Amino acid sequence: MRQLLVAPIIFIVFSQIIVRIASPMTTSVSTNPSTLLPLELVDKCIGSRIHIIMKNDKEIVGTLQGFDDFVNMLLEDVTESEATPEGRRVTKLDQILLNGSNITMLVPGGEMPDT
């Protein structure tokens, strides 16, 4: 009879969304941002404001609460800006979960441009 070994996996559940928060991979010795891996840089942004540009021309600014390996992101205190034929539409949200496959660019510490 063969035994099946299963490694334990620990997830943190926040508002019924599974996210990785303050992962141990940020124990990098280097302090030079150019030597950080992309996910390490995103991990260092947890708890700070981040400006996100989406594929559909939406721009989002919020406080990063967590993310996963697919860069799905949980943000709080969110401002969403979208270009419409009538002009710019701005929406304020308490919390949002972004699909990482729709993110074009991340700007740590960024704020929404005044346009």
In a domain, 106, yes or no: yes
pLDDT tens digit sequence for 2-49: 444 444 443 333 334 444 444 444 444 455 656 878 888 899 999 999
Asked whether residue 99 is domain-assigned, the answer is: yes
Q: Answer positive or negative: Cα dihedral of 29, 33, 39, 44.
A: positive
pLDDT one-digit tens code per residue, 39-97: 888 999 999 999 999 998 899 999 999 999 999 999 999 999 998 899 889 999 999 99
**Of the candidates 28, 63, 61, 24, the residue with the CA atom closest to the CA atom of residue 47:** 63
Nearest to 96 by CA among 55, 41, 44, 59: 59
Residue 6 lies in a domain: no
Does residue 68 sit within a domain? yes
Note down the domain range covering 62: 39-114
Report the CATH number at residue 76.
2.30.30.100
Residue 88 located in a structural domain: yes
Assess if residue 90 is contained within a domain. yes
Beta bridge partners of 44: none
pTM for the full predicted model: 0.67
Structural domains in the chain (count): 1
Q: Is residue 76 assigned to a domain? A: yes
